[in-house]
Amino acid sequence: MLVAVLLLSIIVTPLFVSMKSASKSNADAYKVTQESYFTIGMIEEILAMDFSDIPEGTALSGTVTINGQSINRDVNVVSVDESGVPAPNTGLKRITITINDKSVSTLKAYYPYALF
């Protein structure tokens, strides 16, 4: 009987450790999903703006709440040329959004002939 209890404890202990690990993994995945959601949402908001209304610099930065924690969402808008080199008044803006060391960038071009 004592041997059976010992064998059972040897088998069950790693099971509890793996359950704890799986729970943490799911919590981390949820946080990354939320960070992506808030990053892509901000990109969509900025891309919906008129080109001339998008301020350069970090004026669009702010905070978001993820899992009860206030997290900085850094937005950096820079005018760039077609090679991606910063240059003034090129008709092309690079928008970079960073949350917790994860960055996403996109470009917005000035197109004066848009019919929408």
Q: What is the pLDDT of residue 114?
A: 62
Residue 22 covered by a domain: yes
Q: What is the pLDDT of residue 14?
A: 74
Residue 83 covered by a domain: yes
What CATH code is carried by the domain that includes residue 47? Answer: 3.30.1300
Give the range of the structural domain holding residue 45, as residue numbers without chain letter. Answer: 2-109
Q: What angle do CA 70, 63, 38 make, to 5 degrees?
A: 95
Q: Average pLDDT of each block of 10 consecutive residues along the chain (116 residues)?
A: 76 73 78 89 92 92 86 94 88 93 91 70
- The number of distinct structural domains making up the chain is 1
Residue 60 covered by a domain: yes
Residues 111 and 78: beta-carbon distance below 8 Å: no
Q: What is the pLDDT of residue 28?
A: 82
Residue 65 covered by a domain: yes
* Residues sharing a CB contact under 8 Å with residue 106, sequence separation 6 or more, in sequence order: 43, 47, 94, 95
